[in-house]
């Protein structure tokens, strides 16, 4: 199992048994999460941006407008970033208020931005963005025009340092509390995709594609 | 409608029509989000922590162990923070790859930590944490003991500067693309609470409380 090196920045010091450093775990969280938050420092102050992203190999990609202030800052100054993505899997209801918790899977990673200029990498990333939110979609849609390409900036982040933190399972109460007449357990959470809603301006006769049924 | 002042840090410069600065909108996103990410600067590097939180009045609260490195850093150095919370409401599938998007509601705010020492505020915050994830729960469970209180650090963050960014509605394609034979619309996303799972060590005879049915 290939692992990320544990560094000062990524070592899980609080509840270390929840930490994981293997690439498989880190990648699986990144691949399931629909957005990440990207933090950087600007004039000594912390900033963060929630944004869509995709992982390919050991890189994470974000895209934005070439006119976006923060995309330009990241590109021009190669600002160090901290990126995180989290999945909430359940509410953990213990017998004591103190031991209430959530089941979650989160990743925190450190990197710096690199402008993607190589055409194949750029194309693959744009395809991956679309396929991540809706597998099967790319083949269906109009591909980016030359102008659209020029308006889009894609930045890559090599995953240099990363760790995952995961909690699973039932609540853990103090031994003497297990005898209380209080229900305890987990309420699982799941992001559901609801039935697709047609664009009001959908062309007559166009029906839902098989990958959305 | 009461609004947060727009500052250099919170002004939405990219797609400004998606921006909102009224407290009602900002609060509603914070109250629905199950976790936030808290970013701070440590030795000139950006860091962030995903964490549970709750809002009361114009303050946001987080809690953690008194042994937690980052809680102590925040408390002792009163580090400026940037906090964000996001809700993903739908996948926006356009006719062109370029116009694919997501419907979302996000908040980004700036503040600095303050240790909560006043007993009533502390108690109210702990109650609010529990009630946020499961309304009705607080009345049922064992309240924190003196030792548990001593192990818990609660930090408050006055919401000084905040903005929301929101996208809703169907895709917006280029005029000439509306005639394409490509389905377009929105796939709504919703975080569902699934049927509660009993703790394997649940005491015999204890059944699910009404607020979980």
- CB-CB under 8 Å, B188 with A197: yes
Asked, for residue B180, whether it belongs to a domain, the answer is no
User: B91: part of which helix (H) or strand (E)?
Assistant: strand B81-93
- CB-CB under 8 Å, B212 with A86: no
pLDDT band at A107 (very low <50, low <70, confident <90, very high): very high
pLDDT per position as a tens digit, A12-46: 888 888 899 999 999 999 999 999 999 999 999 99
- CB-CB under 8 Å, A199 with B184: yes
pLDDT per position as a tens digit, A141-198: 999 998 998 899 999 999 989 999 999 999 999 999 999 999 999 999 999 999 999 9
pLDDT at B12: 84
Name the closest residue on chain A to residue B66, using Cα atoms.
A14
pLDDT at A201: 97
For A141-177, b/e burial (b = at least 16 CB within 10 A) is: bbebeeebeeebbbbbbebebbbbbbbeebbebeeeb
pLDDT at A12: 84
Asked, for residue B199, whether it belongs to a domain, the answer is no
B89 CB neighbours in chain A (<8 A) are: none
What is the span of the domain harbouring residue A77? Answer: 16-170
Asked, for residue A64, whether it belongs to a domain, the answer is yes
List the CATH number of the domain containing B164.
2.30.110.10
Residues in B 69-108 with any Cβ partner in A closer than 8 A? 69, 80-82, 84, 86, 88, 91, 93-98, 100, 102, 104, 106, 108
- CB-CB under 8 Å, B189 with A192: yes
Residues in B 112-131 with any Cβ partner in A closer than 8 A? 126-127, 129-130
Asked, for residue B121, whether it belongs to a domain, the answer is yes
Contact of B210 with chain A, judged by CB distance below 8 Å, is answered with no
Cβ pair A177, A96 in contact under 8 A = yes
pLDDT at A15: 83
pLDDT per position as a tens digit, A32-85: 999 999 999 999 999 999 999 999 999 999 999 999 999 999 999 999 999 999
Give this prediction's pTM. Answer: 0.95
B86 CB neighbours in chain A (<8 A) are: 35, 37, 50
Residue numbers in chain B where pLDDT is lower than 50: none
Asked, for residue A76, whether it belongs to a domain, the answer is yes
Cβ pair A63, A129 in contact under 8 A = yes
Asked, for residue B53, whether it belongs to a domain, the answer is yes
pLDDT at B16: 85
Beta pairing partners, A108:
A84, A163
Cβ pair A184, A92 in contact under 8 A = no
Asked, for residue B204, whether it belongs to a domain, the answer is no
Asked, for residue A198, whether it belongs to a domain, the answer is no
- Report how many domains make up chain B: 1
Provide the shortest C-alpha distance from residue B118 to chain A (in Å).
19
């Amino acid at each position: 199992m290939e692992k990320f090196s544990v560094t000062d920045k990524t070592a899980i010091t609080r509840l270390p048994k929840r930490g994981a450093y293997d690439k498989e775990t880190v990648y699986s969280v990144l691949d399931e999460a629909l957005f990440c938050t990207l933090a950087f420092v600007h004039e000594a102050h912390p900033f963060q941006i929630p944004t869509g992203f995709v992982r390919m190999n050991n890189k994470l990609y974000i895209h934005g407008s070439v006119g976006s202030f923060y995309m330009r800052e990241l590109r021009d100054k190669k600002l160090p970033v901290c990126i995180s993505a989290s999945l909430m899997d359940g509410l953990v209801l213990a017998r004591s208020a103190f031991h209430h918790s959530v089941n979650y899977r989160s990743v925190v990673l450190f990197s710096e931005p690199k402008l993607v200029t190589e055409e194949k990498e750029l194309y693959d990333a744009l395809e991956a963005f679309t396929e991540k939110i809706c597998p099967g979609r790319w083949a269906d849609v109009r591909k980016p025009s030359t102008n659209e390409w020029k308006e889009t900036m894609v930045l890559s982040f090599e995953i240099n340092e990363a760790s995952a933190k995961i909690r699973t399972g039932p609540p853990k109460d103090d031994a003497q509390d297990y005898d209380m007449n209080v229900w305890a357990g987990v309420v699982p959470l799941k992001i559901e995709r609801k039935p697709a809603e047609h664009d009001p301006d959908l062309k007559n006769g166009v029906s839902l594609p098989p990958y959305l049924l």
